[in-house]
Structure 1
Amino acid sequence: MSKLGAIGAKLHRGEISYDFVGKRKLWFTVSAVLVLLSIAGLAWRGLALGIEFRGGNEFIAAAKVNDSTVADVREAVIATNAQELGDPIVTTLNDNKVRVQTRPLSDADVLKVRDAIAREVGISNPEQVNRQQIGASWGAQIANKALLALGIFLFLVFFVIWLYFREPKGSMAAIIALVHDVLITIGLYALIGFDVTPATVIGILTILGYSLYDTVVVFDKVRENTRGITGSNRQTYSDAANLAVNQTVVRSINTTIIALLPIGSILVVGTFVLGSGPLKDLSLALFIGVAVGAYSSIFIAPALLAAFKEREPAMQALDRRVKARRAQAAGAARPVAGVAVAGAGGGVATIEGPRPQDKGTRNAPKAGPTGGGSPRPISKTSSAGRPQPKRKPRSKRGK
């Protein structure tokens, strides 16, 4: 944890940086593939709706549960040949009960199924097998109310983010990220075949709030880093947004881990200790949704916001200014080209060309073999390093 905290401090100060926003095409491609797989799963397999949505009968009987209990009870129920029985779902509860879920049955078929369950688990009186009938209309009402709640939630999210950030593009990015989270979560349920129950719907609505909370934290940092950004030419909007993600990524990871630990504990207890039930359905939806929401708040939502904002003329002009400034700085940092010559001691010397600031200087020394332009005479030496004798000046002849 201390190492992670040190990395977080360096990210916040800008000493190290990961290009989250700059690689948005990669993240968008990954999300597009996941969303398409989710839609394909929904179209191909559909959702495994629980008995609360499709209606039917539920039988619960006390029994000594062992490894073959589920298979034995299921075969006994199928052997009744009840009409409209379909494929019964047999599970165990708390290691001391058996639950059988079937489609809606007639009264005569209900008696057959109850008698078969009682004989298989060793109950003398079939009346001790509890039976509950659930109508499909009740499940339809739950589904309609869930869709209505989802629509109201998305509308309020768009309005609140717009009001808080004064930025409709931020609202659009947050809504797209939320829809992305819901589609992937539901698609995973369809592909794997998890049962969708009212507890699942509650879990999905809950993860929307968590995903939105994490996204708003990142957006708030983006707003802080981009305040007055058009008045300078030091960084683009994407650079400022990427800095915001780097400054909050460790916090997002820590929050996600802390949230997943208790949810994972509830999932383990609900699955392996209590058996199938609302606790398992709720924790499963929360576990998947929190993980997907953390991914979208880091990789998807800030990248969408940057992509939307950089379509604005002011941000495009800022991008051109920043690129021109960086190109000018890169040109000034290049070394001056020179000519390498071998020295007397075997070393290499570099004779640099004229500098731009020396142009037009009258007293600049001229390059030549004798070093003309130097104020002092330079004695010539031979290759052996001996001084050469001076020649006598020629006598002038008169005409």
Structure 2
Amino acid sequence: MSKLGNIGARLYRGEVGYDFIGKRKIWYGISILITITAIVGLAVRGLNMGIEFSGGAVFTAKSSMVASEAQHKAESAVGGHQAVVQKLGGSTLRIQISGLDTKQALPVQEKLAKNLNIPVKDVNTQLVGPSWGEEIKNKAWLGLGIFMVLVVLYLAIAFEWRMALAALIALIHDLTITVGVYALVGFEVTPGTVIGLLTILGYSLYDTVVVFDSLKEASKDLTKQNRFTYSEVANRSINSTLVRSINTTVVALLPVAGLLFVGGGVLGAGMLNDISLALFVGLAAGAYSSIFIATPLVADLKGREPQMKALAKRVKAKRAAAAAKEASQEDGQEDGPAPADTEDGAAVVGPRHQPDSRNRGRGRPSGKRR
């Protein structure tokens, strides 16, 4: 931990760093490839909408039968419909079947009781209409739209419109990847999934705003100097907050990973998968986009300004002059005495000419003037 803290301190002071901005085309390419994969997965496989959105019936019954066997029994009872079976506790099965109406539910209940070898009265049936899920979906879209508008307005006022645009692109990037992973994995989309998607928006913005705030402070009066370009300052802002972003992301991912892999995978609590997968993928994508997407986009947009182009030219010219000066100094040291500095800092090659008054008294034992 002490080594990590030392690395973080050195990154913050600018003593070491990684050129995130310089390699931004690589990050853009990786993001485009992942996004295209997510979109293709979404278009080909589609989302596995839960019963809350598609409508159907939910059967609960006490049985010691394992979930995989119960799923086979349920699908044979319903004939043609896919059944989703979850084990609740030690002896309760939750069987949900989409697309069933009131007339179809009763015969399925009887067949299901027969296949599970339990009385019909022990099988509880609950019908879910698609209208409730449609209402949730519409409200989720409305909430997402309002959230996006408020975020863009806030970032445009607190920072600038370029940062607001970059943050919006990063958010769309994170949502697209998360939804695409849901389609590829085949997890069921439930109201818990919607809650998870809306929750990751705040986490995704957190690291982005931290980097933007550091960049805003570091770029004050940037055009009044000739040492650094805007891209270099943006790169230093990423490096100075890098360890903080990693720490907060890892701390947030650990409990979510526990829900996803231990709760949902090992213990078989399938309902935890709905929200934990969205949180896990969204948190990871949000940390990635804040470092590799949002800030490089700001640097690209800002670098197109005439002031920043002029600054980049001045910095380049100053560094070229400094390199030429250093080369001339090295040549002077090889050919003769070291160069002397004039009042304005320019190097003068050749021997120094001392005033005559300084040569008086030389050759005398005391060196004093008479």
- Summarize the alignment of residues 133-152 of structure 1 with structure 2, pairs less than 5 Å apart: 133-152=127-146
The aligned counterpart of 1:242 is: 235
The aligned counterpart of 1:9 is: 9
The aligned counterpart of 1:21 is: 21
Change (3 A) 1:96 1:271: farther
Contact 2:77 2:112 in 1 (8 A): no
**SS in structure 1 at match of 2:22:** coil
TM-score (norm 2): 0.87
The aligned counterpart of 1:35 is: 35
Change (3 A) 1:225 1:130: same
Structure 2 CA distance for aligned equivalents of residues 75 and 148 of structure 1: 39
The aligned counterpart of 2:45 is: 45
1:72 aligns with 2:69: yes
Structure 2 CA distance for aligned equivalents of residues 129 and 262 of structure 1: 35
Aligned-pair distance for 1:42?
1.1
- Summarize the alignment of residues 1-399 of structure 1 with structure 2, pairs less than 5 Å apart: 1-65=1-65, 69-80=66-77, 82=79, 85-107=80-102, 109-123=104-118, 125-165=119-159, 167-267=160-260, 268-273=262-267, 275-277=269-271, 279-334=272-327, 357=348
Change (3 A) 1:181 1:254: same
Contact 1:59 1:99 in 2 (8 A): yes
Question: Which residue identity is paired with 2:131?
Answer: S
Structure 1 CA distance for aligned equivalents of residues 305 and 335 of structure 2: 50
Aligned-pair distance for 1:338?
7.0
Contact 2:218 2:237 in 1 (8 A): yes
Aligned-pair distance for 1:351?
5.0
Contact 2:52 2:190 in 1 (8 A): yes
Structure 2 CA distance for aligned equivalents of residues 110 and 229 of structure 1: 70
Contact 1:94 1:273 in 2 (8 A): no
Aligned-pair distance for 1:207?
0.4
Aligned-pair distance for 1:48?
0.8
Deviation by residue 1:194-230 (Cα, 9 ceiling, x = unmatched): 1111101101100000111111111000001100001
Change (3 A) 1:338 1:270: closer
Aligned-pair distance for 1:330?
1.5
TM-score (norm 1): 0.81
Q: Which has the larger radius of gyration?
A: 1
Question: Which residue identity is paired with 2:127?
Answer: Q
**SS in structure 1 at match of 2:202:** helix
Structure 2 CA distance for aligned equivalents of residues 181 and 282 of structure 1: 15
**SS in structure 1 at match of 2:58:** strand
Report the count of equivalent residues: 346
Structure 1 CA distance for aligned equivalents of residues 208 and 186 of structure 2: 29
Aligned-pair distance for 1:282?
1.3
C-alpha RMSD of the superposition: 2.5
Structure 1 CA distance for aligned equivalents of residues 254 and 337 of structure 2: 66
Contact 1:93 1:276 in 2 (8 A): no
Deviation by residue 1:21-53 (Cα, 9 ceiling, x = unmatched): 111111111101111111111111111111111
Gaps in structure 2 of 5+ consecutive residues: 340-346, 355-370
Aligned-pair distance for 1:262?
1.7
Structure 1 CA distance for aligned equivalents of residues 304 and 56 of structure 2: 54
Contact 2:55 2:100 in 1 (8 A): no
Change (3 A) 1:104 1:354: closer
Question: Which residue identity is paired with 1:212?
Answer: L
Structure 2 CA distance for aligned equivalents of residues 25 and 292 of structure 1: 18
